[in-house]
Structures are given as structure tokens and as C-alpha cells.
Amino acid sequence: MRAVMIAFALGAGALGTAFLAGGLAVGVFAQSGGWPSFRIGVGPFTLFEFTRGAGTTSTTFGSGIVAAAILGGSLNAAAAAWLRRRTG
């Protein structure tokens, strides 16, 4: 059980960090490239939102990052449990 929980924590942390770093990179490119406002997400789960106003820009991370991290951690934990059961 301990190995599965460690796999969950590492998977969730890695995916959350990857989404945050990717979102920051997209925000920098959007601001420097003059992109219009956009939102990345599904339904109420917003991963990333870039808003351009009159003279201002805003980068917002939403609750979708937490949901994606939990999903990624769960998939990583399931794979760890499967491998542990398969290898003994």
C-alpha cells in the first residue's frame, strides 16, 4: 500500500508541476506574441486562462490543474499496483 501511495503522490506532483510550467510558458508566448484572450479547459475545469484587456494581460490557473493532477496520480498509482501485483 505504501508503494501505491508514493506512486500517487509522485504522479500527482509531476503532472501538476508540468501543467504549471507549461501554462507559464504558454502565458509568456501569448503575451509576447500578441495573442487574443483564450481559455484551456473542459466544462467547469479550467486549466489555464489568458486574458488580454486594454493595456493589461492576465494569466490565471484554474481548478482543472488540481483535477488533472489527481487523475494523473491515480493513473500512476494504478499502474504501480498493477506492476507490483504482476511482479510479486
Q: What is the pLDDT of residues 58-81, one digit of tens each?
A: 999 999 999 999 999 999 999 999
- Give the per-residue pLDDT at 1: 83
- 22 with 69: CB under 8 angstroms? no
Indicate the number of domains in the chain. 1
Q: What is the pLDDT of residues 3-46, one digit of tens each?
A: 899 999 999 999 999 999 999 999 999 999 989 999 999 988 99
Tell me which residue of 41, 37, 42, 43 sits closest to 61, measured CA to CA. 41
Alpha-carbon distance of 7 to 54, in angstroms, equals 45
Answer yes or no: is pLDDT of 82 > 70: yes
This prediction has a pTM of: 0.82
- 48 with 59: CB under 8 angstroms? yes
Range of the domain at 76: 2-87
